[in-house]
Chain A
Amino acid sequence: MVALSAYLAHAMTLGDRRVFLPGETSAGHHQIEERCELCHSESFADADSIQAACVRCHGEELSQVDDSHPRSKFTDPRNADRVALLDARYCATCHQEHMPRATGEMGLTLPEDYCFQCHQDIGEDRSSHVDLPFSGCAASGCHNFHDNTALYEDFLASHAAGPALIPGATLPQRMPLIPHAPGLTLAQADAPMDALWRPSRERVALWASSSHARAGVNCSDCHAPSQRAGLGAAAWSIEVPPAVCGDCHEGARTGFEAGRHGVRWAAELPAMRPAQARIEMHAESADRRLDCGSCHGAHLFDSAYASVEACLECHSDSHSLAYQTSPHASLTQIGGDSEPIATCAACHLPRIAQGDGSVRVQHNQNATLRPNEKMIRDVCIQCHSLQLSLDALADGELVRRNFAGTPQIHVESIEWASRRTDARASSTEEGSP
Chain B
Amino acid sequence: MKNPINGLNKVFDNRIRLGVMSVLVVNDEVNFNDLKQMLEVTDGNLATHLVNLEENGFIKIHKGFIGRKTNTTYAVTKAGEKAFSDHIAALENMIKGIK
Question: A and B: partners?
Answer: no
